[in-house]
Amino acid sequence: MAVCYISGIGFGPSPTFQYSPNRTIPFSSNQITTTTLPRTKALSCFHHATTSVQPTFSFHCKTKTHFPFRPPWPASNKPTTISSAMSSGYVQEDLPPALDSTSDPPPIFDGTTRLYISYTCPYAQRVWITRNCKGLQDKIKLVPIDLKNRPTWYKENVYPPNKVPALEHNNEVKGESLDLIKYIDSHFEGPSLFPDDPAKKQFADELLSYIDSFYKTVTSSFKGEGTEAGIAFDNIETALTKFEDGPFFLGQFSLVDIAYAPFIERFHPFLLDVKKYDITLGRTKLATWIEEMNKNEGYTQTRCDPKELVESYKKRFMVIKI
């Protein structure tokens, strides 16, 4: 269980898998033979296309400029698997302001699908990325919540656990980020973000089970020498060598990349600033993965300012530079 609380980022019980330096992590053993295939240059985020409606992009950027963009028509009606973002432009999505204790509630349970997030929460960011990469900007409305000045109606009328993310859909509200990214992928139109291949499905489950252990290992090293963090990032490097049909965890872009991206986005600049430790040094697969993720506009529009992330982590983990 991983959620964002008012005091900052938090997570629930430990996963069943725990890493030990003397124990082989599940995704470093039982390697299977993979066939190298040409990587399709596909768009990572697009609106679902039909034979009568031409899709458009709707994304956020810091400027107010709008870039009209129309992706190629899909070759068939078969669900499309995302590989990487290769688009040349996109239409900005104007993000609404965060709602606080003084804000009126939206018309809850009126048939509108809403995603309740915080712009700074990595768990909510996972679901936001998934929404974008499925091309659901017009199907799922963003409702940002100010976690430091949370409206009372959110707990009373929307989601009693009082956490983000939460998804209002079909007169129900669901929570928990990993559950929600799977739910959105399977219940909404758009390119598939989870593989059909049994070996990749199994590996995806192992990686998703490892993510809380990865988070704990890295964050627990913030006040130490960082050796444990190095082991954690070595594990990520090893995982990225499993499949050869693309630069992502499962070869092609998937929910696994979405699950890890918000945390690596934070760890990278923080460790570089505080520890002078570059997580990509000597890890070419990880460096390439970060580079490819930064081409994915469905992800990049959700990113925070790295400087703000560093300062937030310094406060959260009480890091003091001498």
Query: Is 85's pLDDT higher than 50?
Result: no
Here the tokens at position 83 are: 């590989």
Here the tokens at position 241 are: 């060598």
Nearest CA to 99 out of 165, 147, 166 is that of 147
Classified by CATH at the fold level, domain 198-318 comes out as: Glutathione S-transferase Yfyf (Class Pi); Chain A, domain 2 (1.20.1050)
Residue 317: predicted pLDDT: 87
How many CB atoms within 10 Å of residue 30? 11
For every residue of 126-191, which 3-state class applies, written as one string? HHHHHHHHCCCCCCCEEEEECHHHCCHHHHHHHCCCCCECEEEECCEEEECHHHHHHHHHHHCCCC
Q: Residues 34-62: pLDDT tens digits?
A: 333 333 333 333 333 333 333 333 333 33
Q: Taking the chain, what is the end-to-end CA distance rounded to the nearest angstrom?
A: 35
d(CA 94, CA 211): 31
Nearest CA to 300 out of 10, 84, 66, 56 is that of 84
Nearest CA to 217 out of 29, 23, 7 is that of 23
Q: DSSP label at 119?
A: T
Residues 136-146: what's their mean pLDDT?
A: 97
d(CA 162, CA 118): 12
Residue 8: predicted pLDDT: 36
CB-CB contact of 264 with 292 (8 Å): no
Question: What is the residue extent of each domain of the chain?
Answer: 114-187, 198-318
Q: Residues 231-249: pLDDT tens digits?
A: 999 999 999 999 999 999 9
d(CA 128, CA 304): 13
φ, ψ dihedrals at 320, nearest 5°: -120, 120
SS3 268: helix
Alpha carbon 212 to its chain's center: 14
Alpha carbon 150 to its chain's center: 23
E strands in the chain: 2-5, 8-11, 114-117, 141-144, 166-169, 172-175
Residue 32: predicted pLDDT: 36
SS3 11: strand
pTM here is 0.75
Q: Residues 116-128: pLDDT tens digits?
A: 999 999 999 999 9
- Judged by phi (left if over 0) then psi (alpha if -120 to 50, else beta), residue 4 lies in beta
Query: Is 187's pLDDT higher than 60?
Result: yes
The percentage of residues in the chain with a pLDDT greater than 90, rounded to a whole number, is 66
Q: Predicted confidence band at 273 (pLDDT cuts at 50, 70, 90)?
A: very high
Nearest CA to 308 out of 298, 300, 296, 316 is that of 316
How many CB atoms within 10 Å of residue 84? 19
Nearest CA to 228 out of 215, 238, 240 is that of 215
CATH 3.40.50.720 assigned to domain 114-187? The reply is: no
Residue 223: predicted pLDDT: 74
Residues 8-14: what's their mean pLDDT?
A: 34
d(CA 109, CA 277): 48
Residue 258: predicted pLDDT: 98
Query: Is 106's pLDDT higher than 80?
Result: yes
**Residues 6+ positions from 177 with CB-CB distance below 8 Å:** 2, 3, 123, 124, 126, 127, 165, 259
Q: Residues 193-221: pLDDT tens digits?
A: 999 999 999 999 999 999 999 999 999 99
Residues 278-304: what's their mean pLDDT?
A: 97
